[in-house]
Structure 1
Amino acid sequence: MATRAGPGPRGRHDLTEGPIGKALLAFALPTLLSSILQSLNGSINAIWVGRFLGEQALAATSNANLTMFLLMAFVFGFGMAATVLIGQAFGRRDMDSVRRTIGTAIGSFAPFAALIGLLGWIFAPDLLRLLATPAESAALALAYLRVIFIAMPPILIAVVLIMGLRGTGDSISPMWFMIVAVVLDSGLNPVFILGLGPIPAMGIAGSAMATVIANYAALIGLLFYIYVRDLSVRLRGPELRYLIPDRQLLKTMIVKGFPMGLQMIVISSSGLATLGLVNREGVETTAAFGVAMQLWTYLQMPAMALGAACSAMAAQNIGAGKWERVGAITRSAITYNLLITGVLVVLLIAFDRAALALFLGGGSPALPIAQHIQLLATWSFLLFGVTMILFGTVRANGAVIGPLIILFIGLYPVRLGFALGAYHWLGADSIWLSFTVGSLANLALAAAYYLHGGWRKARMQPPPREELVEEAQADAEPGGRLNPTA
């Protein structure tokens, strides 16, 4: 039975007190920077591979990275479940439960990550065949994917640790080690690809080797930092037994985490389905859409960071029983999203030609198509941001099925249905307008669920036995129950 560790630490990571807007922004900005760094890292590595090894190598990394994304989607869900559990425990000052949760997460996930790395190495050829990897890039993709699977254990374990830290209100520490990983990965790519100095030339496998070294170094540094600073997620002495997974906690992480991971799959699969519709419009339209998506990646980041911040803050306040702050957190996050994303949308529309020309060149025939796409679809990300924030709040109390169903409805029957159904009237414009139509549907359903969905009555996990006894006694009539129960 978990024991309370006293009132627990109060400090800069306590999100249950003080000005909400300031704390929300302070949490969201490092998370936003981490997301930007991850995207830049991928872009820089793609430049190294494309410039030094050519288009076939670049196609090979794309096929391998799709496999990595599918794995990371489920890790995201598992990590978000841990974030909420840790956030609620931290909010009620139960440090023992914080450490029990992180111990279960690491203890169950480290062997799983090692197994993924081993199986990935063995079955990499089968994975690539399943993805229908073009024959001309299959050998390069195999060389890259096998080395990348060696990096999976530190990547997956680091994700769980980072999500755990965010549950305690600390988004700054993960940012520093994200910087370490990005600098090492981007800097070592040309060294291992070309074989600079005493390092042998490894070609495309060298790009993957840079990722391996960067992520092992970042994980070791993060663990060292956690123990030197004696952060809340560290395990010492008898607490190391928490690495033996608690079955109830593990069940909660899986049951709650799986739908969160599926949300990422729904988003990515709908994107692939949309790309299939775009491809039939010709090469120039496909190129224009691809560039628009590059810019939209950065446009979504403030909403994703604010959604993560909202979830962590709401979880702590739910754990502390401060429900009056949960609504204020949600309103502050929506306000920040409308301001930040709104400014980015206006700037992108105002300077769209210059931004798109960075990718396409000023004389590209795809440039006016990309401008038209931006004009019709970019506004939808304001609505998308509000939806992600509402989802972040409700999942802080363990409500995960509702957001998954809402997301599926908005992206599949509504968005793709509109794109197909209106095509013979609007042509390709039905595809671009479908983003706004789908986002409106998602926002309307998310708002209805937030206001009337009963998510406040949900529980992240069953309460401990002593809490059930207290509730039963509190509900009893002073003279005793008329119908005694076991």
Structure 2
Amino acid sequence: MRTENKMAVEPVGKLIWQMSLPPLISMFLQYSYNLIDSAFVAQLSENALTAVSLSFPITTLMNAASIWIGVGVNVLIAGYLGRKEQDKANAAVTHGLLLSFGIGALLTLVSLCMMRPYFRAFTGNEEIYRLSIAYMGVCSFMQIPNMVHIAIQKMIQATGNMVTPMWFQIAGVVVNFVLNPVLIFGIGVFPAMGIVGSASATVSGYLVSMILAFALLLGTKQKVQVKVRGFRLQRRMIGRIFVFGLPSFIMNALSSFMVTIVNLFLVAYSDTAIAFFGAYFKVQQLIVMTVNGLIQGCLPVMRFNYAAGNKERLHLAFRYGTVLVTGMMVLGTLVVVLLPAQILGLFMASEAMRSFGISAMRIMAASYLFCGLSTMISTYFQATEKVYSSIAIQLCRQLLFLVPALWCLDRLFRLNGIWLAFPVAEIAALLVALVMMAWYRRKEGSTPRVADGNDGQTSRR
């Protein structure tokens, strides 16, 4: 019997646009938080910008954990709906909420405990250290609302509703954008809070998004619901949430570790180099993660049709998504290559920062297209339950190839070598991804293994 779910019957091109545009906008808004914070904080001083830059790996790691649970629940729910297992889909919603609250509270405590030794390892400047502690001491409390609202967003997106979750994301960004200058500089009845004001605005934005997300999930009719009656924790379902979301977590968590590693190289040059890279990386993340929003919109389409056994639509979704990713990454590259001085102007860049920053941005922007294509292949593997292959691509991109490239090129070309390491690592990772894709296609005769209906497990040949 033909299903009514649009992911099974809607034309793939139209469906990809419907599914991808809202998460694309959501990711753009999500990563606008960091860019907005840095742009306003830069008006305080370069030391304040450096403090936010040093905090970025911690906040990125926290955000990666949020995406981990969110994407894991998204993939699980999409698979259950593809097999018409509504009760299991509802149980996945409840598991996702419990995990979000529990892990969010744990990460808040970890952040508060680790931030002092972490910042001491990167700066001997007492003002930068003090500002870093003040900023992260508030931002640590963003984790629970961030984790919960992303989880609810991904749950609703898994049903094919990509537009509605976008609105509570927009509300959070608007709150953050309005409160940033008000709390940093002191406007009206509000006192000037400096860098603490920026952190407070960020936490407030996430809190608003969480409240609205809960109102949407519990107060409106959705295709999935919170299961309360007869609910019991299932270790297997929790494990599958972690496994399905793991590639997305690794991709985002590696960004945190990568920034930390790069900062270890840059600290040998200057605090200005660290401030520049922190500012630039927020621009890069805005571009790359916006494209990743498009890719994540493709994920439930590929996952649904894989679980439903529709191999033709699975491959068509992958090809169509790849074309869109290519176009967006080319556009992002052109923006950074053509407008580096204007972008640095957003961060009140000093002449010292501009002296190396303009060329550095152009060099690193050359990596965007290769990054997008390898991430699309990684997501295809994620949707078709080749989880370890998906993880391997992300490890190559941001760790296994990047760290040796940093070490070698830093010694050969000094500071310019650090920037050059990014396109070198991304090109190498894409070559690995293409080889892996060709190997799977040859092994399976261009046909991926199809789920056998046993809770998403694949049949083995």
TM-score, normalised to structure 1, is 0.79
Kept in 2: contact 1:84–1:167 (CA 8 A)? yes
User: For each residue in 1:216-249, what CA deviation from the matched residue of structure 2 results, as whole angstroms up to 9, or x when unmatched?
Assistant: 33222222223443112323xxx31366422210
Deviation at 1:300? 1.5
Kept in 1: contact 2:305–2:311 (CA 8 A)? yes
Aligned partner of 2:78 among 84, 87, 90: 87
Deviation at 1:447? 2.0
Aligned partner of 2:323 among 335, 354, 365: 335
Separation in structure 2 between the aligned mates of residue 322 and residue 311 of structure 1, nearest angstrom: 14
Question: What's 2:152 paired with?
Answer: 161
Kept in 2: contact 1:84–1:397 (CA 8 A)? no
1:248 aligns with 2:239: no
Kept in 1: contact 2:184–2:193 (CA 8 A)? yes
Kept in 2: contact 1:79–1:164 (CA 8 A)? yes
Unaligned 5+ segments in structure 1 are 1-5, 476-486
Deviation at 1:60? 4.8
- Identity across aligned pairs (percent)? 22
| Amino acid in structure 1 at the alignment position of 2:201 | A
- Structure 1 207/360 Cα, relative in aligned 2: closer, same or farther at 3 Å? closer
- Structure 1 110/171 Cα, relative in aligned 2: closer, same or farther at 3 Å? same
Question: What's 1:393 paired with?
Answer: 380
Q: Secondary structure at the match of 2:401?
A: helix
Aligned partner of 1:420 among 407, 411, 418: 407
Kept in 2: contact 1:104–1:245 (CA 8 A)? yes
Deviation at 1:325? 0.9
Deviation at 1:330? 1.0
Separation in structure 2 between the aligned mates of residue 364 and residue 199 of structure 1, nearest angstrom: 33
User: For each residue in 1:358-404, what CA deviation from the matched residue of structure 2 results, as whole angstroms up to 9, or x when unmatched?
Assistant: 5566x936546444334443222111101111111111133222222
Question: What's 1:178 paired with?
Answer: 169
Max Rg structure: 1
1:187 aligns with 2:178: yes
Q: Secondary structure at the match of 1:241?
A: coil
Deviation at 1:141? 4.5
User: For each residue in 1:92-146, what CA deviation from the matched residue of structure 2 results, as whole angstroms up to 9, or x when unmatched?
Assistant: 33322221111111133323334544x35xx725532244275445555545444
RMSD after superposition: 3.7
User: For each residue in 1:12-69, what CA deviation from the matched residue of structure 2 results, as whole angstroms up to 9, or x when unmatched?
Assistant: xx322222122212322222222222333323333444546x5555555555553332
- Structure 1 23/261 Cα, relative in aligned 2: closer, same or farther at 3 Å? same
Question: What's 1:407 paired with?
Answer: 394
User: For each residue in 1:310-366, what CA deviation from the matched residue of structure 2 results, as whole angstroms up to 9, or x when unmatched?
Assistant: 2121111112221111111111111112222223323443444544555566x9365
- Structure 1 396/421 Cα, relative in aligned 2: closer, same or farther at 3 Å? same
1:372 aligns with 2:363: no
Task: Out of 156-165 and 127-136, give the one that drifted further.
Answer: 127-136
Question: What's 1:75 paired with?
Answer: 66
TM-score, normalised to structure 2, is 0.83
Question: What's 1:214 paired with?
Answer: 205
Question: What's 2:302 paired with?
Answer: 314
| Amino acid in structure 2 at the alignment position of 1:105 | G
Q: Secondary structure at the match of 1:98?
A: helix
| Amino acid in structure 2 at the alignment position of 1:218 | S
Kept in 1: contact 2:66–2:146 (CA 8 A)? no
Question: What's 2:418 paired with?
Answer: 431
Question: What's 2:431 paired with?
Answer: 444
Deviation at 1:180? 0.7
Separation in structure 1 between the aligned mates of residue 330 and residue 243 of structure 2, nearest angstrom: 36
Task: Out of 209-218 and 311-320, give the one that drifted further.
Answer: 209-218
